[in-house]
Every structure is written in structure tokens, then in C-alpha cells.
């Protein structure tokens, strides 16, 4: 009887295995070597970075409070409205994109919409919408709604594809119609996760709203951008602190709600 046992390797062919190992290692070494670091520039930059950080140590909420409040209000409005609209649109698309319940043509159309929405980064869509509808929160609202559809519909569709088929089959066996099967056999199974994902998306949309503001889509991002452009690091610091606090509140709140709905 043999006394030694080894786990079978992932790649059985030893030559191929070692070729893959060596190839990966060579690539990594070359890739690191190609990163060009200008150490002088880093040294000079440290000083500027320090000035930046110093500005942040004394946040100034007061002198630009009017702008901050307005930007915040725009951002929050944008976040909530785009999340609600995004959810309303993404639920039917998500149902249509679940292979186990949707007929093939509908499935393909819905998957197409999802792929389109997911293939563009928020910033790029924001630039497009700003060009189409002008500066301001409306472009931001459209951007975030569009991005929400790709995110929620995809995850909802995948969740529907993962359901326990037996429960849906049992409802179908009673003579229930298609919508009744969705309402009784599928919705109860995916609802907790859908609520969790929606809250998570609310989080993301708020953070994104402060990023897309930089390209002109309104909100607190625009205010932040203006403050940075004017080298008012103290005001910028105040804005960042407010963003961090709101994100933390949203995070905490959504974790409580998600814990309750299981």
C-alpha cells in the first residue's frame, strides 16, 4: 500500500503546469519593471499632499454653507428619485431577463438592455446626458436611474434563476396563471434580497451622485468640484465629511432593515 498521497494538481500535464507558472511569474516581473516611478516628483508631491491634508484638518462648514446645503439637497433628491425610478423599471426587466420564466425573445431584449446599461460607466453616461440635457441634477437623475437598471435587473434576474423551482412548480400545479406564479411562487423567494439590493443601490447612488457632479450633473459633487477648483480645501473637507457621515448613516440604516426582513 502507498503511504504518500498528494492532491491531484489543477493542471494535470506537468509541462503545461510549469509553463503556466513560469509564464505568469515572468509577466508579473516585467509588468512591475515597466511601472515608471519618478521618485523626485513623489518627493515634491509629498509637500503638496501635506498642504491638502492640512486644509482638511480645519473643515469650514460656514463660509460656503449655502452652496453646500443646496448641493446636498440636489444630491439627496437625485439619489432617492433615481433609485425609485430605477427599481420600478428594473423589476420588470429583471423578471424578463430570468431564463427560467421568460420566453426567449423577451429574455434576449431584457438581457440586451442590461448589457447596455452595465457596459457604460456612470461618468460616461453622465457626460452624455449633460451634453443632451444641460448641466444640473436632471442629467444626474437620468444617469443614476440608467445605471440602477443594469445593476438591479441583472442581480434580480440571477436571483430568480436561482430560486427553489419546487415552490414555483407547486404553485403552477394548482392551475395558477403566469403572473400568479410570479406573485406566489417567485416573489416571496426573491423579495428579501431585492429589498436588500435596493437599499444597497440607494447607497451607491448617493456616492455616485457626488462623483458625477464633477462632470456637471449637479448635486454635491458639483459643489465639491467648485471648492477644489478654488483651492478651498477647508470647504471641500466639510463637504467630504458630510458625505462620509451620510454614507455611514445609510449603511447602518440599511443593515438594520436588511436584518429585519429575512
Partner 1 sequence: MLRLDNLTKTYRTGDRALSGVSFTVEPGQVVGLIGPSGAGKSTLIRCINRLVEPSSGQVFLGETELTRLGRGALRRSRRRIGMIFQEYALVERLTVMENVLSGRLGYVSFWRSFFRKYPTDAVSKAYGLLDRVGLTDHVDKRADALSGGQRQRVGIARALAQDPDLLLVDEPTASLDPKTSRQIMRLIVEICDEHGLPAIINIHDVALAQQFVRRIIGLKAGEVVYDGPPDQLDAEVLTRIYGEEDWSATIRAVDEDEALDEPTTSDEEYLSPESVLDRERMAGLS
Q: Which residues bind partner 1 (CB under 8 A)?
A: 164, 166-167, 169-177, 179-180, 183-185, 188-189, 191-192
Q: How far is the CB of 108 from partner 1 (least distance, A)?
A: 20
Q: How far is the CB of 174 from partner 1 (least distance, A)?
A: 5
Residue with cell 480645519: 58
Cα separation, 21 vs 13, whole angstroms: 12
Looking at the Cβ atoms of 26 and 183, the one nearer to partner 1 is 183
Angle (CA) 190-195-201 rounded to 5° is: 120
Cα separation, 145 vs 139, whole angstroms: 10
How many CB atoms are closer than 10 A to CB 183? 13
Looking at the Cβ atoms of 150 and 185, the one nearer to partner 1 is 185
Looking at the Cβ atoms of 194 and 217, the one nearer to partner 1 is 194
Q: How far is the CB of 180 from partner 1 (least distance, A)?
A: 5
Cα separation, 183 vs 172, whole angstroms: 11
Looking at the Cβ atoms of 136 and 192, the one nearer to partner 1 is 192
- Judge residue 10's burial from the number of C-beta atoms within 10 Å of its C-beta, 0-12 exposed, 13-18 middle, 19 or more buried: exposed
Looking at the Cβ atoms of 173 and 244, the one nearer to partner 1 is 173
Looking at the Cβ atoms of 53 and 191, the one nearer to partner 1 is 191
Nearest one of 178, 241, 237 to 58, comparing CA atoms: 237
Q: How far is the CB of 184 from partner 1 (least distance, A)?
A: 5
> Residues with Cβ < 8 Å from 57, sequence gap 6 or more?
237
Helix then strand count (H, E) for the chain reads: 11, 0
Amino acid at each position: 500500500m502507498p503511504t504518500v498521497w498528494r492532491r491531484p494538481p489543477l493542471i494535470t500535464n506537468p509541462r503545461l503546469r510549469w509553463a503556466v507558472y513560469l509564464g505568469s511569474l515572468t509577466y508579473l516581473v516585467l509588468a512591475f519593471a515597466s511601472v515608471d516611478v519618478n521618485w523626485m516628483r513623489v518627493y515634491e508631491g509629498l509637500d503638496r499632499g501635506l498642504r491638502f491634508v492640512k486644509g482638511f484638518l480645519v473643515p469650514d462648514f460656514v463660509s460656503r454653507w449655502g452652496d453646500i446645503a443646496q448641493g446636498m439637497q440636489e444630491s439627496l433628491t437625485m439619489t432617492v428619485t433615481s433609485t425609485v425610478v430605477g427599481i420600478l423599471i428594473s423589476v420588470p426587466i429583471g423578471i424578463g431577463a430570468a431564463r427560467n420564466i421568460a420566453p426567449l425573445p423577451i429574455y434576449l431584449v431584457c438581457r440586451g438592455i442590461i448589457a447596455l446599461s452595465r457596459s457604460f460607466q456612470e461618468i460616461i453616461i453622465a457626460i452624455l446626458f449633460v451634453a443632451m440635457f444641460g448641466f444640473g441634477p436632471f442629467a444626474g437623475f437620468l444617469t443614476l436611474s440608467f445605471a440602477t437598471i443594469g445593476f438591479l435587473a441583472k442581480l434580480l434576474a440571477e436571483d430568480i434563476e436561482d430560486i427553489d423551482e419546487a415552490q414555483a412548480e407547486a404553485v403552477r400545479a394548482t392551475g395558477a396563471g403566469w403572473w400568479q406564479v410570479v406573485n406566489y411562487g417567485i416573489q416571496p423567494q426573491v423579495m428579501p434580497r431585492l429589498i436588500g439590493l435596493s437599499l444597497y443601490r440607494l447607497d451607491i447612488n448617493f456616492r455616485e451622485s457626488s462623483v458625477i457632479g464633477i462632470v456637471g450633473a449637479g448635486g454635491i459633487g458639483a459643489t465639491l468640484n467648485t471648492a477644489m477648483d478654488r483651492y478651498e480645501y477647508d470647504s471641500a473637507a466639510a463637504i467630504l465629511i458630510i458625505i462620509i457621515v451620510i454614507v455611514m448613516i445609510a449603511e447602518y440604516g440599511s443593515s438594520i432593515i436588511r436584518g429585519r426582513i429575512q
